[in-house]
Amino acid sequence: METKDVVQRDSFGSKLGIIAAVAGSAVGLGNIWKFPYITGVYGGGAFVLVYLICIALIGLPIVLSEFVIGRKAQKNAIGSFKKLAPGTLWFVPGIMGLVAAFMILAFYGVVAGWTLEYLFKAITNSFVGKNPADLEGMFGGFISQLARPIFWQIIFMGLTCWIVLAGIKGGIEKASKLLMPVLLVIIIILDIRAVTLPGASEGLAFLFKPDFSKLTGEGMLNALGHAFFSLSLGMGTLITYSSYMSKKENLATTAVQVTIADTGIALLAGIAIFPAVFAFGIEPGAGPGLVFITLPNVFQQMPGGYFFCILFFLLLAVAALTSSISILEVVVAYFVEELKLARRAATIMAASAITIMGIPCSLSMGVWSKVKFMDKTFFDWLDFIASNVMLPLGGLLIVAFVGWYLGREKTEAEVTNEGELKAGYLPLFMFLAKFVAPVVIAIVFLHGLGLF
Ligand code: PHE
């Protein structure tokens, strides 16, 4: 049994591949699509500040907590809890993570499908000569169509399924290790173009000058939820991935590196988008279309814009893919290791069910956009419940598990690689894990739901 597990689980190959996989999971649509769009909706600077505080005080300790759990147990998310805390209810966050994975991938696949359509539009030079209003109309026209967004969603989910099935995640992760720096370079080039546009300073002020009068409880809950979403936290992705890490890896350093890279890319994406939003007179709170409406304007104002635009949407789709496979993997690893399903059947079943759940998400951008419950569409509800409810609650349980159940000694043994490394940060980490992170999550959560 053990051998079979190892064979099935070890699909990353080298240690470098695993780090690339973790970074690939974290960096995705969350950084480039969702962060700018919700920053716009929740008013800019103050939201960004709360987000950064959530990353540092809550996100980073939970990244390390997931690493400790996964590498110690060397199992999937649910199996890890069962192994470290046998006979208890601690596996519940693992189950929650499974449900969250289903919900997140349902809408993630839809948005990733949009990037494929935009890649297609970029190749066919469809943005040329269009003004900001045209580009806004183009986006609105596309997402409200019935079949086309679903077509791209199915293509994207098919790709995700195929990569997980073919067991070539390692290859994809290594390729993305080369490709993601290219994406970073394009974003920096976009940043330079954006901040030199007339009127750009207004956008930078929007992003970095906190106006606390715009901050609401709902905004704070979204900042917290997005810290989880962006770092792939709270649903066992990082438990699953770190279960493949070598016992020599420095978990704390890796956690810090991934967190800085992920946050840095989100901020750089914001710097590319908001100056342009103000320069072109786009509404910052335009919603999920913000990136798709704004950036084609910027590419048009750039020498070589045609090629940069193609490259950008191509790499964005790749970034989305390295995230989506990490989400699907949570579900598949559970089906295979706990329910003993064959990997092939598990992958196809999970991907199909998730794709079907994504269809109403896609429709809620168009024909079903008026179908709302408490002012939220189906798409909004999936995102809200998964990102702002399940991930923070899962994260709370994960960090409390390390702080209170595993405790200082076992955690120290794991983060120091059994005494090999120094861990001067340990008292601070334990304090954050036991008290700060759980309490802050609970307060923001209750406040955001209007219960506190
Ligand atoms: N972190 C990914 C992104 O930013 C999304 C994701 C969420 C991946 C949860 C895995 C788990 O795009």
pLDDT at 13 over 60: no
Which ligand 1 atom lies nearest to the CA of residue 229? 7
How many whole angstroms separate alpha carbon 356 and alpha carbon 135?
A: 29
Which ligand 1 atom lies nearest to the CA of residue 262? 4
Between the CA of 145 and the centroid of ligand 1 the distance, in Å, is: 26
Between the CA of 253 and the centroid of ligand 1 the distance, in Å, is: 20
| pLDDT single digits (tens) 38-80 | 999 999 999 999 999 999 999 999 999 999 999 999 988 999 9
How many whole angstroms separate alpha carbon 123 and alpha carbon 140?
A: 20
Give the residue, out of 107, 238, 259, 323, with the most ligand 1 atoms within 8 A of its beta carbon, to mutate for a pocket test: 323
Which ligand 1 atom lies nearest to the CA of residue 30? 4
Between the CA of 26 and the centroid of ligand 1 the distance, in Å, is: 5
pLDDT at 9 over 60: no
Q: Tell me, what's the pLDDT at 168?
A: 64
Which ligand 1 atom lies nearest to the CA of residue 323? 8
Nearest CA owner, ligand 1 atom 6: 232
Give the residue, out of 96, 321, 326, 398, with the most ligand 1 atoms within 8 A of its beta carbon, to mutate for a pocket test: 326
Which of 103-107, 373-377, 426-430 is predicted with the least confidence, judged by mean pLDDT?
A: 373-377
Nearest CA owner, ligand 1 atom 11: 232
Which of 15-19, 61-65, 358-362 is predicted with the least confidence, judged by mean pLDDT?
A: 15-19
Nearest CA owner, ligand 1 atom 10: 232
Q: Tell me, what's the pLDDT at 8?
A: 46
Cβ-Cβ contacts under 8 Å for 311 (sequence gap 6 or more): 182, 186
Nearest CA owner, ligand 1 atom 9: 232
Between the CA of 36 and the centroid of ligand 1 the distance, in Å, is: 15
| pLDDT single digits (tens) 286-305 | 999 999 999 999 999 888 99
Integer CA distances (angstroms), 339 to 76, 115, 241, 331, 332, in order: 12, 34, 19, 11, 10
| pLDDT single digits (tens) 383-419 | 999 999 999 999 999 999 999 999 999 999 999 999 9
Q: Taking Cα atoms as reference points, which of 369, 324, 376, 338 lies closest to residue 161? A: 324
How many whole angstroms separate alpha carbon 341 and alpha carbon 444?
A: 39
Work out the burial of residue 347: count CB atoms within 10 Å of its CB; fewer than 13 is exposed, 13-18 middle, 19 or more buried: buried
Place of tokens 């064959």: 342
Query: Please, what is the end-to-end C-alpha distance for the chain in angstroms?
Result: 49
Residues with CB under 6 A from ligand 1: 25-26, 28-31, 104, 229-230, 232, 235, 237, 323, 326-327
Integer CA distances (angstroms), 423 to 295, 412, 430, 445, in order: 43, 8, 11, 31
DSSP string, 72-114: HH-S-HHHHHHHHSTTSSTTHHHHHHHHHHHHHHHHHHHHHHH
Between the CA of 79 and the centroid of ligand 1 the distance, in Å, is: 21
- Residue 217's Cα: distance from chain center in Å? 22
Between the CA of 2 and the centroid of ligand 1 the distance, in Å, is: 29
b/e burial code for range 237-249 (CB count within 10 A of at least 16 → b): bbbbbbbbbeeeb
Between the CA of 380 and the centroid of ligand 1 the distance, in Å, is: 16
Between the CA of 169 and the centroid of ligand 1 the distance, in Å, is: 16
Please give the mean pLDDT across all residues of the chain.
92
Q: What's the Rg (C-alpha) of the chain?
A: 21
Q: Which two structure tokens, joined as six digits, stand for 206? A: 């929007």
Strand spans (E) along 218-337: none
The helix or strand, by DSSP H or E, that contains position 444, with its residue range, turns out to be helix 437-448
Percent of all residues in the chain with a pLDDT value above 70, rounded to a whole number: 95
Which ligand 1 atom lies nearest to the CA of residue 324? 8
pLDDT at 4 over 50: no
| pLDDT single digits (tens) 218-249 | 999 999 999 999 999 999 999 988 988 888 88
How many whole angstroms separate alpha carbon 142 and alpha carbon 133?
A: 14
Determine contact, residues 245/15, Cβ cutoff 8 Å. yes
Work out the burial of residue 271: count CB atoms within 10 Å of its CB; fewer than 13 is exposed, 13-18 middle, 19 or more buried: buried
DSSP symbol at 396:
H
Q: What is the mean pLDDT of residues 187-194?
A: 94
Between the CA of 323 and the centroid of ligand 1 the distance, in Å, is: 5
